[in-house]
Amino acid sequence: MNEYDIKDTIAALSTPYSKSALAIIRMSGSKALEIASKICFYANNENKNINNFEHRKSYYALIKDENNIPVDEVIVLSSLSPNTFTSEDTIEFISHGSIVVIDALMNLLIRNGARAANRGEFTYRAYINGRIGISEAEAIHDLIDSNNKLMAEASIYKMRGRLTREIDKLRENIKNSLMLVYGELDFPEDETESFSYDKLIENFEIIKKDIENILSNSKRVENLINGIKVAILGRVNAGKSSIFNMILDRERAIVSNIAGTTRDFLSENIYIDNIPFYLMDTAGFHKKADNDIELEGIERAKKCACESDIILAVFDGSDIANEDDINLIEFLNTLDNKNIIYILNKSDEDKKFNKEIDNANIINISTKTKSGKGELISALKNYVSDSDMDIFNKETYVNNRERGYLESGLKQIDICIKKSLESYSLDEVAEEMNILNNILGNVSGKVDAEEVINEIFANFCIGK
């Protein structure tokens, strides 16, 4: 990584570059203490440099430039190698949040031998110095970008090595199998531990199952942290937008007696007991569209339904079922493995809806009186089972990069199994196993892939 010269001492603003109460500038590298001692003076004795920085200690300091002109009074936090995030000597300056002060302090550090850090360079150094793996580095980025409590929790679990430990177990199993193969190659007549292809295949099947579990559990974790998709479907004026607004507790969608007010779908995020839900209010369901715009709205509604985790099928309980209602029910019957909640809206009026819905979970709701709202919210919450939360608390998620390597690993295991079943030479089987080991090593960054590493850290913010 040419732009990330590990020998340099780097500095960067870790807080937003804007006027604020405080700002934090971080410096890391072999010259961090030396540079700090040049510019840091005791605030109560401005003629005395601070030159004996201790580990995990704070100092109230006056920063002065080379012309002895004060820059700011700051809190200096010192942490000594190797017990820091980067595993290098690290100094953090907590200054006043004036942009003038920020610029002056950064320029002063650079004039005294530091270099402005590149994106993600502090985290890159933590990786290079063995403090964290690639998966942990990416989890830090995910934590910074998290927009809900579950995403933050999942990122922290991963940041603390949950996925890396799983991958390490897989690679340890591969290495143990390789030892059996190499032992047979080097000492074919040694009968202290008999070798068999069957035992090798058994180990491959275990590894394969473990990878499949990581991928499937990741999907369940991702469904939770990305938001459970809820599509609201129904014919025009069934009350879809009113249901949408009622769940949100605010007027997000326009509610009108005019048919077809919603032509595209509206979407909003909502949190129920800290679990994110992604609500989609779709266009009214018609058996026959009057124009191309209406047809596109109906097609998008169907697409939302197919991609959702939960469907709220809304019917006007105060009206006789018409062909659009029947068309909607027929469409829902074509969907497999969908959690569908049927809603009879306008329960405050006389019930006229006359269509029987077999084996349906039906909730009677009045958006005027809010009757039935609690039952609907409970039904949404019940979608998340105890087993889902158990998976969340014990397992982790994978990103697209990691998933790609794991899926490649599954293909490579099949090659290993095939060659073992067909009794290929042990040299060839060992070669395939080493390929598998390297593929899995790429998941956690245990195998160097410079191009991938460059891309990962380039997406980080400055100062991280």
Q: Please state the residue numbers annotated as binding site for K(+).
A: 237, 256, 258, 261
- Reading the block at residue 204, the tokens are 């491959």
Peptide bond into 70 cis (omega under 30): no
Distance CA 16, CA 2 (A): 26
Chain centre distance of CA 361: 33
Question: Which residues line the annotated binding site for Mg(2+)?
Answer: 241, 262
Burial zone of 259 (CB within 10 Å; 0-12 exposed, 13-18 middle, 19+ buried): exposed
Question: Which residues line the annotated binding site for GTP?
Answer: 237-242, 256-262, 281-284
Question: Which residues line the annotated binding site?
Answer: 26, 92, 131, 237-242, 256-262, 281-284, 464
**Do residues 66 and 111 lie in contact, with contact meaning Cβ atoms separated by under 8 Å?**
yes
Q: Quote the DSSP letter at residue 262.
A: -
Contacts of 310 (CB under 8 A, 6+ apart): 228, 229, 230, 231, 338, 339, 340, 341, 380, 383
Say which amino acid occupies 67. N
Distance CA 131, CA 408 (A): 27
Say which amino acid occupies 284. G
**Do residues 248 and 268 lie in contact, with contact meaning Cβ atoms separated by under 8 Å?**
yes
Contacts of 99 (CB under 8 A, 6+ apart): 17, 18, 19
Peptide bond into 82 cis (omega under 30): yes
Distances (CA, A) of 137 to 124, 141, 218, 226: 8, 7, 18, 20
- Reading the block at residue 319, the tokens are 């009206």
Question: Which residues line the annotated binding site for (6S)-5-formyl-5,6,7,8-tetrahydrofolate?
Answer: 26, 92, 131, 464
- What residues form DSSP beta bridges with 75? 60, 94
- What residues form DSSP beta bridges with 363? 343
Q: What is the dihedral of CA 269, 266, 230, 345, to 10 degrees?
A: 120
- Reading the block at residue 238, the tokens are 């069934």
Burial zone of 138 (CB within 10 Å; 0-12 exposed, 13-18 middle, 19+ buried): buried
